[in-house]
Amino acid sequence: MSNLIERYVYDVTRRLPEKEREDVKKELRANIYDMLPDGASDEAVKKVLYELGSPASLAEKYRTHPRYLISPAYFDEYVRVLKWVLPLVGVIVMVIGFVVGAFDAAKESTANIPFVMSGIISNGVSMGVSAAFQVLIWTTIGFAIADHSGAKQPKVGEHGWKVEDLPEAQNAKASIPLSEGIAELVVSVVFSIIGILFCAGRLPFMMVFAQGDMVFYNIFSQSFLNMLIPFILVSMVLAVVQGIAKINDRRWSVFVCVSVVAKSLISMVLTIYLVNQPNILSTEFHSFLVQSEVADVFSILPHVNGTNVLVIAFCVLIIIGTVSESIKAIKNTVQAHVK
């Protein structure tokens, strides 16, 4: 009995603005129980829910500001489509814009970092915003045409809806904000592009002031940079999959959990492999360290089986962070599926 009521309350309140949900949830739940006799059966609960009406129509009655640009018959579906299509198309086109901007920057001979980065970011943002705006316009036009064409949706069951079709109530703590998935996707792609530009020699790695002049040093050897590019691409693909999973599900589903754990474990393995490579530093930068006597500090640190203790400590921290993130993802997913 209580499960049907919670599912109904959830289906109504999920259609309302977040600031109104808690008050409506308490009021609606209290009204339902007041309408039921003690020890009411599932059939009695269904009867009361059908008397209250479909969740969509009841949610519209609870709204402080009714919405009729798109009528209530179509508005929930309209919002549902926009919530999925708008950010997805906008982010994908924005990522494409970043990539196009990066390729354009790679063709230029300038080493002006602010100019290069502003070009990449402006190109991606402008393309993403333009695509999202077009999706908004055409989706609105499409729903407006369907709404005003007079076509009516076929009814489902005697009351126009079925209690059995109510969605399962979701744990609010298990939800993932849309902004989180979009932010992770954009940040991962942007920093991956920056990393690839660095590896391709389009941007300097370090600026050192020597005798009043600014000197650019390549910190890493070219062989290490060449090996680093495919690793960056793999990490970017994993981040894109994870971001899309969060945008699509917006809760800790099994797919989101698997994508997070897989990305964490693969990134951990790749990072540990990379930091243990020989000849990571370029000859130029190594000479600079020797002249500044910084190398002497590292040489006196202890080694374990030929590996510097700092590298070992870094690897341990990476492992701890990965295990912690994976456990957190699994815990959130389990909590999301607890009835």
pLDDT in tens, 319-339: 999 999 999 999 988 887 765
- Which pLDDT score, from 0 to 100, does residue 261 have? 95
Pairing of the two strands 303-304 and 206-210: unpaired
Same domain, 38 and 84: no
pTM of the complete model:
0.62
- Look at residues 65, 86, 110 and tell me which one is the last residue of a structural domain: 65
Within-domain flag for 166: no
Over the stretch 155-196, which tens digit does the pLDDT of each residue have?
444 556 777 777 766 666 677 877 788 888 888 888 888 888
What average pLDDT does range 278-287 have in this prediction? Answer: 79
Residues 141 and 5 in one domain: no
Q: Identify whether residues 207 and 115 lie together within a single domain.
A: yes
Residue 162 located in a structural domain: no
- Residue 51 in any domain: the answer is yes
Residues 330 and 206 placed together within one structural domain of the fold: yes
Q: Closest by alpha carbon to 87, among 178, 155, 22?
A: 178
Of the candidates 3, 5, 63, the residue with the CA atom closest to the CA atom of residue 35: 5
Q: Which helix (DSSP H) or strand (DSSP E) does residue 81 occupy?
A: helix 72-107
- The verdict on 95 and 126 lying in the same domain is yes
pLDDT in tens, 29-80: 899 888 888 878 888 888 888 888 888 788 878 776 655 566 666 666 777 7
Higher model confidence: residue 239 or residue 145? 239
Quick one: 34 and 140 in the same domain?
no
Beta strands per DSSP E along the chain: 206-210, 213-217, 303-304, 307-308
Q: In the chain, how many domains are there? A: 2
- Tokens (6 digits) for 248: 């699509």
| 41, 65, 89 - which closes a domain | 65
For the chain, what percent of residues have pLDDT higher than 90?
13
Q: Average pLDDT, whole number, for the chain?
A: 78
The closest alpha carbon to 262, from 237, 283, 282, 287, belongs to 237
Q: Cα separation of 159 and 157, whole Å?
A: 6
- Token pair 């910190």 is found at 219
How high is the pLDDT of residue 316?
A: 93
Locate 106 and state its tokens.
């790679």
Residues 52 and 76 in one domain: no
Range of the domain at 28: 1-65
Around Cβ 232, how many Cβ atoms within 10 Å? 18
The residue from 48, 65, 82 where one domain ends is 65
Give me 77's structure tokens. 């579906």
| Pair (145, 4) in one structural domain | no
- HSE-up of residue 29 (Cα within 13 Å, Cβ side): 17
Mean pLDDT within 150-154: 49
CA 71 to CA 150: how far, in whole Å? 11
Which residue type sits at 138? W
Least confident of 95-99, 137-141, 204-208, 309-313: 204-208
**Residue 167 included in any domain:** no
Q: Indicate whether 102 and 127 sit together in one domain.
A: yes
Residue 159 forms part of a structural domain: no
What are the angstrom distances between the C-alpha of 52 and each of 24, 32, 280? 14, 9, 69
> Interior CA angle at 132 toward 134 and 258, to 5°?
140
Both 260 and 311 in one domain: the answer is yes
Task: Please report where in the chains the tokens 């693909």 appear, as a residue.
Answer: 237
Residues 181 and 291 in one domain: yes
Residues 72 and 22 in one domain: no
Per-residue pLDDT tens digits for 75-90: 667 777 887 788 778 8
